[in-house]
Amino acid sequence: MEVINEKSAILSNFEVYSLLKETQEGLRKAHQSSLQNLATVVYETSKYLEDTPCRQQNEEIIENCLTKLKKFELSKSEKLQLLNLRPATQVETHLILDGVEDRFSEEQLEELIDIISELPQNKQNESLSHNSTENSN
């Protein structure tokens, strides 16, 4: 396979998950043995993405988040990383965003984290936060 334009389209985990679900339906109907490898890749990737927050996302949630993020003047790839990785601390935002110290104040970073925290969380994050709450009691 040859990559002609590597930045022609960047997809969120939600978009990939949706596409894989559509592909799975098509593969179920096809039942061709020549598509077995594709079916395996689609199945394994879908199973992985089911445990990520993209399963609870929809276009409205994503558009709402992107609207709130407009004031931060982020690149497309930074917005995508925020949607996919869901940073919960300032340290995590430093790993995702370029030049954080020069671009954002601590208050702006906290606001950014608050916006991201409003998004649906994955099962693993929910169980981790639930366990830490129980341990602190």
pTM: 0.69
pLDDT score for 7: 57
CB-based contacts of 94: which residues, under 8 Å, 6+ apart? 100, 101
Report the distance separating Cα 65 and Cα 115, nearest Å. Answer: 7
Residue 118: which residues within 8 A CB-CB, separation 6 or more? 65
Mean pLDDT computed over 108-123: 86
Residue 24 confidence class, pLDDT cut points 50, 70, 90: confident
| pLDDT one-digit tens code per residue, 70-99 | 999 999 999 999 998 899 999 999 999 999
Query: 110: which residues sit within 8 A by CB, 6+ positions away?
Result: 90
CA distance 130 to 40: 34
pLDDT score for 53: 82
Using the predicted structure, report yes or no on whether residue 59 has a pLDDT greater than 60: yes
- pLDDT category of residue 69 using cuts at 50, 70 and 90: very high
What percent of the chain stands above pLDDT 90?
Answer: 36
Measured in whole angstroms, the distance separating CA 124 from the mean position of its chain's CA atoms is 14
CB 87 within 8 A of CB 93: yes
Rounded Cα gap, residues 95 and 11, in angstroms: 20
